[in-house]
Structure 1
Amino acid sequence: MKKTQLLFLFLISTLTAIAQSGNIKGKVQTSDGQAAPSVTVSLKGLTKGATTDASGNYELKKVTPGDYTLVVSFIGLESKEVSVTVQANETTNLPAIILKEDSKQLDEVVVVGSKKTYKVDQPSQSLRLQTPLIETPQNIQVITEKVLADQQVISMSDGVIRNVSGATRLEHWGDMYTLINVRGGRASAFRNGMNITSSWGPLTEDMSFVDHVEFVKGPAGFMMSNGDPTGIYNVVTKKPTGRDFNGAASFTLGSFDLYRGTLDLDGKLEKTGKLLFRLNLMGQTKNSFRVYEFNNRYSIAPVISYKIDDNTTLTAEYTLQHVSMSNIGSAYVFSTQGYGGTPVELSLNDPGLDPTKINDHSFTLNLQHKINDNWKLTAQGAYFNYQQIGSSLWPAALPNAVNSDGTVLRQVNIADASNIAKFGQIFVNGDVTTGIIRHRILGGLDLGTKEYLGDWWQSHVLDSAVTNKYFNIYKPVYGSPANGYPTFDRSKGIRERAGLGATISQRYTGLYFQDELGFWENRIRLTLAGRYTYVKDISYGTSVDGEKFTPRIGLSGSINPETSVYALYDQSFLPQTGLIRSGKQPKPITGNNVEFGLKRDWFNGKWNTTIAAYKIIKNNGLTPDPSNVTGSTQYSIETGQTQTKGIELDIRGELARGLSLVANYAYTDSKITKSNDTLVVGNREGDVVPGFAKHNANAWLSYKVPTGALKGVGISGGFSYQTNRTTWSWGGPGEKSLPDYFRLDGGMFWEKDKIRITANVFNILNTYLYSGSYYAYGGYYYWQTEAPRNLRVSLNYTF
């Protein structure tokens, strides 16, 4: 029935599009003769409209013949109205419409409408694309600030993935960093267009300084070819908007002693608007449903933007995140009997262990220069510095470390780390026409260096097999472990302590060019692109480098202004390092993605659907050797070749007045198609690749009463559902599978003028939820539970 209804809607929209109609074309300029981009042009009394492009051009297609009033508007500025008559089967070309503001004044007003919606039409500038999302030949999904606020998401690892198809979370490590899998592999982590992915990072971003999050599925040659072909997520931070002084303050209370406050200030540092600022502050204390577990944080994120002249803007951004948290292994439970069977609040952590402390600094300098109406230059440099002092917990690498009666020998390892990265980027965007062909041009250079130093060599066993003083998961006793608490030696610097065996570094250079050729008034778009990448990796005492040219070909066609279809072929390349028991050097990861999709905007762009089908082939991936012993040298095995196939559906936007929806479904099938070592269980042809769910569905629905006595009252709710879940890593003979996953959340809110109160209950059904894997060498299972039923209440005030 639902398929029939969707087909009927599609047929009606198609018939409407081919009925007799006319078009309106024109250009909007400022009083000083400059093009006026991002201006809304609509027909008064109707929902039909358009937005001017970078050259100030607009076009309204398939308008019913008649007389209309054209409304030209820009948020924060006075609207202008123009009369127009539309004839059947003709295009009405209007003379340039002049806004009384000059280009300088227009630039000072930034469209911030995306913060009030569940859907946006353009990717961020940091993705480097000029093409609207509906015309881009790839599945790109944007999670807006409005969605994050409604769901009370407070960090990147706190429920973000429910808003994008096929995403799953892996090893939590106490909210230290976020590891997200999509399309059968790890999604590379980006921030403002820079690849900050590391073996143990980056530190999960707090949402207080995040504007929105972009998920790019599959390889992204225009962003990165030295990465996993499964995709990326790009965290875009808040910037000054150019408005007069305004701000927002919020306070959140929640279960498990959550106390959180944020402050967002935005405005001009002097009245002309040449110097702008944005400041985001956050402070939080949070315990856990698990005993003796906590995560206290604060962040400071100032941004200053200076308009050097009418065409050039320099922006400086600094972010500090400080974390004081319990032992990073405190979330794990271990048992030989399979998953579960212990209370959800169980932790193997001990209250006498020192906290793990992290200071994460980043500084970015961004220069944007408008060369002319058609060309723009962007240059960006960044420095990231992550320092960690702490410890982790795991069963000891000793006989009988985990036993059938629930006894465990806990081992604490030092977990100090230094993670420093430097990035440089410069790229140019062009939008020009040669004859009848439109060219959206992108070209640029990427440079980056990363270095991770880790000290996990020192260890201390808390419990004693000699005196039979174990920790028992069924009868836990905390405090005063048999062997006392560790005292780690930090008299030497982290570099000396790490040594070659715990040093991971990478240096890369990327040079890329992309031309999107638009034919037949840009109804058909052909993307031709390529990237040359050179990468050198040094890891665990071994060094490898490589270079490769990777092509990208995309084709996108507009059936009508609201509907497009696309096809894409893209490649990726990543040299890799690791230790293989045979002593041979691992080969670089290579991969390609073939993708087809259909995108559709509904009801004048208020909501959107994206359907994508893809196949990704990945060669030479590394995975941990199942025979590794904790605390000793960690070897890897090469998987040969994997193939991931899937179908994705994403829906987001405003379905009706006051009713907003984010929903998605993904079918994922990832298997080994060629094996380099068929003797290893889990590495044979046909074996499933770990880290995904075959069926993954999510939804979040929000409704706010628009009028009447209950105006401003709202209700929202959603679910997450996964079946056929694979584990975190390769298992062993007889490994138990993970059960299906279902979580239900929901709540209510009320907003009036500048005040909003939001209350949500998470895991309403109080289900015992967890994810985990089997540790073949130790012969036991390990897993992490999720929070039982819990509540958050937020008060937000804007000014």
Structure 2
Amino acid sequence: MRKLCVFFSLAFLLCTVVSAQSPTGNIAGKVVTVDGKPAEGVTLIIKSLNRIAIADNNGIFNIQKVQPGTYTLVVSLVSHKDVEEQVTVTAGQTAKVDFKLELSDQELNEVVVIANKSSFKSNRMSGSLRLQTPILEAPQNIQVVTAKLINDQQIFDMLEGVTRNVSGATKIEHWDNYARITMRGSNIAAFRNGMNVSTTWGPLTEDMSMVERIEFVKGPAGFMLSNGDPSGFYNVVTKKPSGRNKGEVSVSMGSFDLYRATADLDGKISKDGKLLYRLNVMGQMKGYHRQFDYNNRYSIVPVLKYLVDDKTSVTLEYTHQFSEVNVIGSNYLFSKRGYADQPKSMTTAEANLSPTTMNDRSILAIFDHKLNNDWKFTAQVAYFNYKQIGASLWPIKFQQANDSFMQRGISIWDVLGTTKVGQMFMNGKVQTGNVVHKILGGLDMSNKEYYHDWNQGAALGDSNFNVYAPKYGLATAPVFDRSKDLRERGVRYYNAYTGFYAQDEIGLFDERVRLTIAGRYTTLKSGDVYNGDYKNSKFTPRLGLSVSLDKNTAFYALFDQSFLENYGSDWQGKSFDPITGNNLEFGLKKDWMAGKWNSAISFYQITRNNVLTQDDEHAKVVNGDTIGWFQRPTGEQRTRGIEVDIRGQIARGLDVVVNYAFTEAKITKDSDPKVIGNQVAGSSRHVQNAWINYRVDRGALNGFGISLGYQVQAKRSPWYSFDNSENSLPDYFRLDGSLSYQKEKIGFNLVLNNLLNKYLYSGAPYTWGGYFYWQAEPGTNARFSVSYRF
């Protein structure tokens, strides 16, 4: 460990060395839109030098230390013609050049979101969030994980370190297929391109090769994005065609036999530039720190976009993701004595078990039409198909006489699911005197039907599997009967919703004060094979206020409600009432150094009703053995908290992401008085993260970078069940770092995770089974990637 610390210290010192250079000049100017507003966040490129600059909040840019000569300066515009200008640089002088774009401020939104990949921060949200307001002025806490951050940290999928970049977000456990992310005291919903894709156990987590950015929306936002948990959701925005001919390929290798390759191709198909394409492919073979474990994946994501004219476009996107793992549940460890008393390499799986395969296919169609400069109509439909063939591992029981011995169980786990989503919405702007109205209205529809078969099970080996001295190769897996269609043998889960919503953001006093009035009427339909279908409807209002104290500082306040389905049934076969929630929040946002970095602080209280929790009094018992459990609704949960987020470039070459969250999540009402006051399962009272990257942009070390980051979680409660006992999880600290080098078109990135080689895990006591379970993270491990842009 000392050698690693010395290595990073020397590397950081080397970053400050700059060799002597010949006299240079600067290029500076301003970019504005056709309506005269600053074109903040647009990307400018010096073609021959591969130098990039980003216009600040005032549309101003300044490219320093440019060698004398004549260059072509390009303003990069997604799905629009690039704007080019010749500029001559003279030593010791600043060349002035200004640009006026043939775009309105509203049209600039998608250009900035998709084109700017050079920053840890973003000023604007994607079009899939439907709002026309910049993030600074929105009456809600929205945090964006950019492509730059994802690449810098070498995050390969949502199961990895995405949450470290957002205050209060933590990943708990997973089944190798979907990410379970907790924020503000509860499990948040997964969205893709503005569509709720969450299911009971899904969807297959997105590989980062297909991802443009990830937007974490905190608090309810059902008025604009279908149904979601009162704590918020994360929205994965996939890559779309930019209209520029470019590409990138990368190859990665790392610990535990990691081999990975990706390709991202982007450009024009037709000579007139109307037919665009984007193709992302990925292949990966990956082992684990656990014996016999693996996760082999590939994905193919082609996208076509046709620009009918300057007002209308049609986009078609197909996604195929495949994953093959050993057996679901093989990433868990079990003990009667307590947490973490077995090595991280331990497993209850066998080498000869048949793999579990997961196929996730979807198709997305988007129709965009600009009625005029102020109004735009969007319609999109998607079809998702998920198929899983495999099995899962879980203990049947431990021996009473000797708690070292466990009877392993294996059961079939096949899944077949379909999700259909349709959305239509219109947003625009109307001015009445000195009052500006930004109006949004639309219709959302969704239908999800999933079949799960876990009804066939058997013992794996005998009852003498020693969790402290395991012997493998003695067990034979059963053969499951798949002769019937999964729709016949599986348990059906079904839910659907229809929602109508409307919002008016009223701009007063030259839009320095913005009052949001919105409402949504939602009808939920849910059901399963036990209790049939049921239906509930509710109107949920939203009131927001955002006040610009100056052009870089905004205060906001928000009241919002949520309404979403509860899956399953209780021990009597009765369905659950929907989850309802109230959110009260206020905060302060500020851009610093003309938008190079920003800060946000928020205070909130969320009240959630009818949240499901473990029903300890009723368990499923077969032949004297407990094989499952039921759930019951709690009366009320209340979460209060404070969140702080800082991100962006705080000094030349120094980009940071720093965040902190205090979360007090408690059960406040319940039919069982003993649980009142308990910390909500899965929540962490304190979460603090940092990621710091320094990159040299001149001299002999130009392109060299170093990063260091850590994650801290304190007072963690187990995800499954928590009674405020000594069974809480220990505090969590993880330290990571990276070294990188970018030389024109080629880049190198070495990431070292868990530098301190700590035993890190998450888990819970399994009350009705009388034992503990947990998932252990790998010790110190490395990844090395080489990328080439063209």
State if a TM-score over 0.5 links the two structures.
yes
Closer, same or farther: CA 213–733 of 1 in aligned 2, 3 Å:
closer
Give the fraction of aligned pairs with identical amino acids, expressed as a percent: 50
1:48 to 1:709, Cα distance in 2 relative to 1, 3 A: closer
Asked if residue 344 in structure 1 is aligned to residue 339 in structure 2, the reply is no
- Pick from 609, 612, 635 the counterpart of residue 622 of structure 1: 612
Query: How far did residue 729 of structure 1 move?
Result: 1.6
1:403 Cα deviation (Å)?
6.9
Counterpart CA distance in 1 for 2:701 and 2:254 is 26
Structure 2 residue aligned with 1:124: 126
* 1:403–1:223 CA distance, 2 compared to 1 (3 A): farther
Note if contact 1:219-1:225 (Cα within 8 Å) is conserved in structure 2: no
Give the distance between the partners of 2:32 and 2:407, measured in 1 at CA: 73
Match of 1:199 in 2: 200
Distance 1:26 1:688, change over 3 A: closer
- The structure 2 residue matched to 1:78, chosen from 84, 104, 112, is 84
Amino acid at match of 1:486: P
Match of 1:471 in 2: 465
Which amino acid in the other structure matches residue 172 of structure 2? L
Distance 1:574 1:740, change over 3 A: same
1:436 deviation in Å? 0.6
Residues 198 and 415 of structure 1, relative CA distance in 2, 3 Å threshold: same
| Alpha-carbon contact 1:254-1:790 (below 8 Å) kept | yes
CA distance in 2, matches of 1:26, 1:222: 34
Q: Is the 8 A contact 2:735 2:753 kept in 1?
A: yes
Q: Which amino acid aligns with 2:489?
A: R
Task: Tell me how far apart the structure 2 counterparts of residues 596 and 373 of structure 1 sit (CA, whole Å).
Answer: 33
Residue 535 of structure 1 and its aligned partner are, at CA, apart by 0.6
- Find out whether 1:190 has 2:180 as its counterpart: no
The superposition leaves residues 54-79 of structure 1 with CA deviations (integer Å, 9 ceiling, x where unpaired) of xxxx9xxxxxxxxxxxx996653135
Could you tell me which of 458, 480, 488 is aligned with 1:488?
Answer: 480
Given that 2:500 and 2:522 are in contact with CA atoms closer than 8 Å, whether structure 1 keeps it comes out as yes
CA distance in 1, matches of 2:170, 2:557: 25
Partner residue, 2:410 = 412
Give 1:167's aligned residue. Answer: 169
* 2:141 matched residue in structure 1: 139
CA drift of 1:38 comes to 7.1
Q: How far, CA to CA, are the matches of 1:280 and 1:423 in structure 2?
A: 23
CA–CA distance in structure 1, aligned partners of residues 716 and 724 of structure 2: 17
**How big is each residue's C-alpha offset from its partner over 1:581-625, in whole Å with a ceiling of 9 and x where there is no partner?**
355442221101000100000000000101000000001111232
* Alignment of 1:391 onto 2:419: no
Superposition map of 1:350-749 within 5 A: 350-396=350-396, 398=397, 400=398, 405-465=403-463, 470-481=464-475, 484-498=476-490, 502-542=491-531, 543-582=533-572, 584-626=574-616, 627-629=618-620, 632=627, 634-678=629-673, 684-731=675-722, 735-749=726-740
Question: Match for 2:520: what amino acid?
Answer: R
Looking at structure 1, the residues matched to 400 and 588 of structure 2 have their Cα atoms a distance apart, in angstroms, of: 51
Residue 235 of structure 1 is matched in structure 2 by: 236
What amino acid does structure 2 have at the position aligned with 1:611?
Answer: I
CA 1:278–1:296 in 2, change beyond 3 Å: closer, same or farther? same
Q: Structure 1's 143 and 388: CA in aligned 2 closer, same or farther, altered over 3 A?
A: same
Number of equivalences: 721
CA distance in 1, matches of 2:384, 2:54: 45
The one-letter code matched in structure 1 to 2:720 is S
- Measured in 2, the distance between the counterparts of 1:39 and 1:114 equals 7
Which amino acid in structure 1 is aligned with residue 487 of structure 2? R
Q: Which whole-Å CA distance do the structure 1 matches of 2:126 and 2:656 have between them?
A: 22
Distance 1:540 1:784, change over 3 A: farther
Match of 2:157 in 1: 155
Deviates most, 659-668 or 112-121: 112-121
Contact 2:619-2:628 at 8 Å conserved across structures: yes
State how far apart, in whole Å, the 2-side matches of 1:418 and 1:707 are.
54
Aligned to 1:304: 304
| Partner deviation per Cα, 1:20-65 (whole Å, 9 max, x = no partner) | xxxxx998439xxx999779699xxx9996578xxxxx9xxxxxxx
Question: 1:477 and 1:106, CA in 2 relative to 1: closer, same or farther beyond 3 A?
Answer: closer
The residue identity in structure 2 corresponding to 1:654 is: Q
- Bigger shift: residues 223-232 or 448-457: 223-232
Q: Could you say what secondary structure the match of 2:151 adopts?
A: helix
Q: Secondary structure at 2:224's aligned position in 1?
A: coil
CA 1:761/1:402 → structure 2, altered by over 3 Å: closer, same or farther? farther
The residue number in structure 1 matching 2:178 is 177
Uncovered stretches (5+) of structure 2, i.e. residues with no partner: 1-29, 45-52, 61-72, 88-97
Q: CA contact under 8 A between 1:701 and 1:717: conserved in structure 2?
A: yes
Give 3-state SS (helix, strand or coil) of 2:543's partner.
strand
| Contact kept in structure 2, 1:281 and 1:299, CA below 8 Å | yes
**One-letter amino acid matched to 2:211:** V
Task: Indicate how the Cα distance of structure 1 residues 225 and 108 shifts in structure 2: closer, same or farther if over 3 A, else same.
Answer: closer
- Conserved? CA contact 1:47–1:604, under 8 Å: no
SS of the equivalent of 2:84 reads coil
Amino acid at match of 1:268: K
Give, in whole Å, the separation in 2 of the partners of 1:375 and 1:366: 17
User: Structure 1's 796 and 637: CA in aligned 2 closer, same or farther, altered over 3 A?
Assistant: same
CA contact 1:731–1:775 (8 Å) conserved in 2: no
**Which residue identity lines up with residue 698 of structure 1 in the other structure?**
N
Structure 1 unpaired stretches of 5+: 1-24, 53-57, 59-70, 82-95
Cα deviations by residue, 1:269-289 (Å, 9 ceiling, x for unpaired): 012110000000000000100
The residue number in structure 2 matching 1:29 is 34
Q: CA deviation at 1:197?
A: 0.5
Partner letter of residue 469 of structure 2? K
CA distance in 1, matches of 2:437, 2:684: 40
Task: Name the counterpart of 2:760.
Answer: 769
Deviates more, 1:716-725 or 1:572-581: 572-581
Judged with a 3 Å threshold, the aligned counterparts in structure 2 of structure 1 residues 764 and 412 are, in CA distance, closer, same or farther, namely same
Is the 1:210–1:237 contact (alpha carbons within 8 Å) kept by the matching residues of 2? yes
Deviation track 1:76-122 (CA, whole Å, cap 9, x = no partner) reads 313599xxxxxxxxxxxxxx99668999x999987754211101111
Give the aligned residue type for 2:688.
A
Shift of 1:733: 8.8
Change (3 A) 1:47 1:702: closer
Query: 1:331 offset after TM fit, Å?
Result: 0.7
| 1:178 Cα offset (Å) | 0.5
Match of 1:664, SS state, is strand
| Structure 1 residue 227: Cα displacement | 2.8
Alignment partners' CA distance in 1, 2:199 and 2:482: 24
State how far apart, in whole Å, the 1-side matches of 2:721 and 2:103 are: 62
Q: Which moved more, 1:625-634 or 1:152-161?
A: 625-634
Contact 1:544-1:576 within 8 A present in 2 as well: no
SS, match of residue 698 in structure 2? coil
Aligned-partner SS, 2:243: coil
SS in 1 for 2:149: helix
